[in-house]
Amino acid sequence: MATIPGSKANANARPAVATRQAAQEEAAALRALDKPLLESKRTGLLMAAVMGITICQFLDMTIANVALPHMRTALGASPDTITWVLTSFIIAGVLVLPLTGWLADRFGSRNMFLAASLLFVVSSMLCGAATSLGQMVVFRAIQGAASAFIGPMSQTAMFDINKPSKQSQAMSIWGIVVMIGPISGPFIGGFLTDTLNWRWVFYVNLPIGIPALVVLWWLLPSRAIVHRQLDVLGAVLLAVALGSLQLMLDRGQDNDWFQATETWVELLIALSALWMFVVHTLSVKHPLFEGAMVRNANFLGGLGFMVILGVTNVGLSSVLPTLYQNLFGYSVMQTGLLMAPRGVGVLTMMFVTNRLMGKIDSRVLIAAGYSIAAYSLYMMTSWSLDMDWHQMAISGFVQGLGLGLVFVPVNLVAFSTLDPHYRTDGTTLMTLFRNLGSSFGISAIVAQLSTNMQTSHQDVGSSITSFNVPAMDPASSAAMLGEVGTAALQMLDGEVSRQAAMIAYLDNFKMMAWVVLLVVPLTFVVKKPPPMFSKPDVHPE
């Protein structure tokens, strides 16, 4: 068999230029022989380096959230402007993410991954050293752009350097970081802020990222460079659509959603640009994402499943800390410990799933995982303000089992019928849809919580009258007791608000349980992955 361009162990060699057809033929031959697309001298060490930089990237999605109050004081920002530290990171990532596949083909996957990793480490250092809000926003935008490239490039690398029979194991390892990183971010960020300084929220990337970068430079092989025309208009239209949509989701709650003109403008821009992008993509010869990808039923199904995964994992894990701290009075450290059972469940089921792949239909695993996740949400609908931490830990662990069972089969189903030369574009879209699911999930949950809290407050408050509290009339008693009575009424209103908030959370859990449960039958719409993908029929001697 001919030498594979870019597959030599010498990672510093410039990758050869290849055609799509040649790359596809070589990938098919390697797949039949159960060989990796790219050979590496020390695959285990290389995987550790890929995971190292990926851990930093996924932690940074949520690690800075809890440090915002400390950053606001140090940078002299207002409560409204400090949120741009988060918004700039998200928007920059959304704008550049669709270009990942083209840049990797044009400059080589090795060069692209190394450049993104170096930029991420440097920008993390600059964020930690920032002395003004303007500097922080610029450095966070650079960090967000680099982070957007790392996600799909790391997943592509894990596929490429592992032979097909080991790819489920590789996805299990990669999935652990993807699922646990966003959950652990707030806890780690709170711990670093309380014990050291808010700047260590960013500096923590350096002792992990720098050694990982050195190993990547030493061992990372490269795919062949492919001459590929960039669809500039398509890229601009998609960037405008995604940027406007993300801005609407990020600022919608503060703007009271569709009561504000800004929200309507952002929505109209997003829909118009998206419509123009679709029409343009269908009419050009070389679109940003090739038609063979978006017509693949399994890949489209994987994108849909990834949206739901983003909602249930990142969306829910973003609001649970608020519930634990504000309603149950747990500290940041205690909240982190209460979130840990979800991570333990994910970790446990990832290893179990790796054993099950190839023995049980992947679609059955996905359906079972979503069913378990829905059941855990149903368990959460029975929570009350006077319960202890045991129920939270148990439901969190069960939910982690469900989500851990879903992640690997979803990725393998999505890529099982997709040609390997589409992997970078494919992982880019998977990352994009997972991020969109997370953003939609957070916005929908927060908006529903706000609405339900107001409604529940009225319902609960209306029951506090002299008719159902026969021992006293709250209003007249407060008037007679003066300041003490006013303070008592405020305490009563606070308890009403607390009860209303709990009811709102329970309603949200119930809504999410139904959404996840409705996905279960859809898992059997996709095709069963070919057996060779998980367990090759041909093995090299």
Please give the average per-residue pLDDT across 449-475, as a whole number. 65
Indicate the average pLDDT of the chain: 80
| Rg, the chain, Cα only | 25
pLDDT at residue 26 in the model: 54
Name the maximum alpha-carbon separation found in the chain: 94
CA distances in angstroms from 525 to 298, 300, 356, 418, 431, listed in the order given:
9, 11, 21, 17, 22
The string of DSSP codes covering 214-281 is HHHHHH---PPEE-----HHHHHHHHHHHHHHHHHHHHTTTTTGGGSHHHHHHHHHHHHHHHHHHHHH
Residues in the chain: 541
Question: What kind and span of H or E run contains 18?
Answer: strand 17-18
Per-residue buried b or exposed e for 191-202, using 16+ beta carbons within 10 Å of the residue's own CB:
bbbeeeebbbbb
Considering only residues 434 and 50, tell me which one the structure prediction assigns the higher pLDDT: 50
Q: What is the pLDDT of residues 409-431, one digit of tens each?
A: 888 888 877 777 777 888 888 88
How far apart CA 187 and CA 387 sit, in angstroms, is 22
Q: What is the pLDDT of residues 317-349, one digit of tens each?
A: 777 877 887 888 887 778 778 888 888 888 888
Q: What is the pLDDT of residues 17-27, one digit of tens each?
A: 555 555 555 55
Could you tell me the pLDDT band of residue 3, with boundaries at 50, 70 and 90? very low
pLDDT at residue 16 in the model: 52
Query: DSSP code of 528?
Result: P
CB 414 within 8 Å of CB 526: no
CA distances in angstroms from 240 to 35, 233, 245, 278, listed in the order given:
40, 11, 8, 13
19: left (phi over 0), alpha (psi -120 to 50) or beta: beta
pLDDT at residue 6 in the model: 41
pLDDT over 90, % of the chain? 14
Q: Where are the domains of the chain?
A: 19-230, 233-287, 290-531
Joined together, the tokens standing for residue 20 give: 């799509």
Which residues are CB-contacts of 108 (< 8 A; sequence separation ≥ 6)? 6, 14, 15, 222, 223, 224, 225
How far apart CA 345 and CA 341 sit, in angstroms, is 6
Could you tell me the pLDDT band of residue 113, with boundaries at 50, 70 and 90? very high
CB 170 within 8 Å of CB 158: yes
Tally helices (H) and strands (E) across the chain. 22, 2
pLDDT at residue 143 in the model: 92
**Fold exhibited by the domain 19-230:** Growth Hormone; Chain: A; (1.20.1250)
To the nearest 10°, report the CA torsion of 444, 447, 451, 452.
50
Whether pLDDT at 481 is above 60: no
pLDDT at residue 123 in the model: 94
Whether pLDDT at 141 is above 70: yes
Region of poorest pLDDT, from 90-99, 165-174, 474-483: 474-483
Name the 3-class secondary structure at 28.
helix
Nearest to 217 by CA among 107, 108, 113, 147: 113
Region of poorest pLDDT, from 149-163, 184-198, 359-373, 447-461: 447-461
Whether pLDDT at 535 is above 70: no
pLDDT at residue 538 in the model: 38
Q: In CATH, what number does 290-531 get?
A: 1.20.1250.20
